Amino acid sequence: MIELYDEFFSMLRFAKRLCESNMADRLKNWFGFCPLDGDCYWELAYETISWVFQSTCHYYNEESEIETWLFMDPVIDHFCQVCQEYEGRKNIAGEDNPYQKKMEQIIHEAFCFNCYSYGYDWRLSDKKRGRRCLLLFTGCEFYSHDAIFDGLMEIRDGFETITAHMEAELAKETWIIPLSLVTAAQWKEAA
């Protein structure tokens, strides 16, 4: 009888999550060459971190043994642009934007791993002050790399959903035309 290890089932569950999240094409190209074992599982979990957002940068500091992940994507940029438009129309500060607070809550919940030795942040800034990005820092004792993919997918879905809600609210706003402009135009037509 062949003994099946936990990683075998973890690998199948992870592959199922990837297929459900429309990453099947990348998985198909990558999966055909790996055995269903623990090493391949952790390699796939580590690899998929860079699949969710369009531009992912990874840095490793050997001295402090900290990995830094920067996630940048047009989805994040678009969210930031719509936030700025929303705040401009409502005449509120970024800290008072309820949609921005909701996005911060989604990020917090998605990056709540069953582990320690990590941190995260996000930069919602003007293009003049740097690229808009999501940051994740993992230390040498971080072992939940397989949960990062799910968290990133929740964050991406959050960006798309909240941006759609903001755009819908902005589209519903009615513009009030001053009566003096309307009557002036009617007078011109009548003359």
In a domain, 186, yes or no: no
What is the model's pLDDT at position 189? Answer: 55
| Arithmetic mean of pLDDT, 30-50 | 74
| Arithmetic mean of pLDDT, 108-126 | 82
Instruction: Report the candidate in 188, 119, 96, 105 with the shortest Cα–Cα distance to residue 154.
Output: 105
CA torsion, ordered 64, 44, 151, 169, to nearest 10 deg: 120
What is the model's pLDDT at position 43? Answer: 81
Same domain, 149 and 90: yes
In a domain, 189, yes or no: no
In a domain, 151, yes or no: yes
What is the model's pLDDT at position 48? Answer: 84
In a domain, 179, yes or no: no
Same domain, 64 and 16: no
What is the model's pLDDT at position 157? Answer: 93
Contact 139, 66 (CB under 8 A): yes
Q: pLDDT > 90: what percent of the chain? A: 28
In a domain, 137, yes or no: yes
List the domain range (segments joined by +) for residue 10: 1-48
Same domain, 42 and 105: no
How many domains does one find in the chain? 2
Task: Sort strands 133-138 and 55-61 into parallel, antiparallel or unpaired.
Answer: unpaired
Same domain, 35 and 60: no
CA distance 181 to 191: 16
pLDDT, tens digit (0-9, with 9 covering 90-100), for 65-105? 999 999 999 999 899 899 989 998 888 888 889 999 999 99
Same domain, 151 and 167: yes
Same domain, 93 and 121: yes
| Arithmetic mean of pLDDT, 95-121 | 90
The count of C-alpha atoms lying within 13 angstroms of the C-alpha of 149, restricted to the half-sphere facing its C-beta, is 24
Same domain, 151 and 61: yes
